[in-house]
Structure formats: structure tokens, C-alpha cells
């Protein structure tokens, strides 16, 4: 995995011109890896009202969105292990995802139109994730309602686990799943992030 971070102590001894050169070389590396079909997982970060999100995509589509509390380095290591070790900072592949997420947070977008890669989820969790995509903007469903919708009414806890392991939070709206009593419940990005998303959609 390769990252260029000008705040890294590695660059302390470099002139601004040297840092710019390294950044340009990195962009060239990413572009050539892409053109040679060697870039299996591209990633970038995006500042949002719920913290800095890590966005990662394969050639198929967006494969991962991760909150800061998930530890981005750990997420990248998992992607290298489960998807491919050919992981590189390559923001261009994530331009559309970053734009749509920005639009969502400004209230200009209520539905994402991004190609998705759901290879990180399967089985019952995949069923839940697929159903979450049908919960419309501003709507909420209980964990029990989701369990019933996917054909297993008793699997309420399993639905909670599936939401907690959603590889694409925000884009696939697990934040719209709440407890039967109306309280918001747990969330991979933390309670404050979930409340922010629900408040945004209720406006």
C-alpha cells in the first residue's frame, strides 16, 4: 500500500519542491497502475460532518466506506488481505463517490447512484445489506422489521450484527435502522454520527 502524506515526518527534510515532486510521482504511479490494470483497490479520504471517511473502490465499484473509529490503517490492511494487496492512494477513481457523498451532506442528494462492490459481505448479512438499500431517504425501519423483510423474523440480533458490519455505511443506509421503541440504537460510526445522519434526513 502506498500513501503520500505531506504531514508525515518522512518529509521533514524535504523542500516544498521535493514534496511536490513526490506527490506528482505518486499521481503518475497511480495513473500507470490504473492503465496497466494493476490497481485493484484505490482509496482516498474525505472530510465530512461525521468525520474523515476512508473511501475505497475496486474496478467493480465502491467497496468500503470507513469511519475514523474503525482505524483506517486496519481497514486498509483488511482490504489488502481480503480483496488484493495491490492497494494504492488513487483519488481519481473515487471522484464520483466523493462528489455524491458531499452532495448528500449538503442536502442536494437523497439517493446514491454509484456502482458498488459487495464482495465483503455474504450470506444473511448480504440479504440485510441488500434490503437496506430499499429503505428510502428520511425513512426508518426497526431491526425487527428488517428481520421480517428478509424472511427471518427471529433474527433481530443478526440484523443488528449485519448493520454493524455494513462495509458501506452512509452509502448503504444502516443508520436508518433503529430500535422498535424509536431510540436510534448502535452504529458503526458512533451514536453522534448516526444522530447527525438521521437529523440531516429529517430536515
Catalytic residue positions, numbered: 174
- CA 13 – CA 31 distance, rounded (Å): 27
Q: What are phi and psi of 34, to 5 degrees?
A: -65, -45
CA distance 162 to 118: 13
Count CB neighbours of 96 within 10 A.
Answer: 16
Cell numbers representing residue 143 in the block: 431491526
In the three-class reduction of DSSP (H, G, I as helix; E, B as strand; rest coil), residue 51 is classed as strand
User: How many Å separate Cα 77 from the centre of its chain?
Assistant: 15
Phi, psi (deg, nearest 5) at residue 134: -90, -5
Torsion of CA 192, 133, 98, 49, to 10 degrees: -10
Distance of CA 36 to the CA centre of its chain: 26
Q: How many residues are given for the chain?
A: 203
Amino acid at each position: 500500500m502506498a500513501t503520500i502524506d505531506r504531514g508525515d515526518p518522512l518529509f521533514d527534510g524535504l523542500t516544498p519542491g521535493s514534496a511536490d515532486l513526490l506527490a506528482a510521482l505518486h499521481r503518475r504511479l497511480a495513473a500507470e497502475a490504473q492503465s496497466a490494470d494493476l490497481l485493484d483497490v484505490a482509496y482516498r479520504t474525505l472530510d465530512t460532518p461525521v468525520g474523515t471517511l476512508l473511501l475505497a473502490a475496486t474496478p467493480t465499484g465502491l467497496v468500503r466506506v470507513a469511519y475514523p473509529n474503525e482505524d483506517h490503517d486496519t481497514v486498509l490492511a483488511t482490504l489488502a488481505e481480503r480483496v488484493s494487496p495491490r492497494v494504492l492512494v488513487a483519488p481519481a477513481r473515487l471522484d464520483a463517490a466523493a462528489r455524491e457523498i458531499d452532495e448528500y451532506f449538503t442536502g442536494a442528494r437523497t439517493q446514491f447512484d454509484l456502482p458498488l462492490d459487495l464482495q465483503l459481505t455474504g450470506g444473511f448479512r448480504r440479504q440485510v445489506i441488500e434490503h437496506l438499500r430499499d429503505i428510502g431517504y428520511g425513512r426508518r425501519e426497526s431491526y425487527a422489521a428488517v428481520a421480517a423483510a428478509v424472511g427471518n423474523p427471529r433474527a433481530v440480533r443478526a440484523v443488528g450484527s449485519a448493520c454493524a458490519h455494513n462495509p458501506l455505511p452512509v452509502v448503504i443506509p444502516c443508520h436508518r435502522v433503529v430500535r422498535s421503541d424509536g431510540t436510534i440504537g448502535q452504529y458503526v460510526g458512533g451514536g453522534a454520527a448516526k444522530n447527525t445522519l438521521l437529523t440531516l434526513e429529517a430536515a
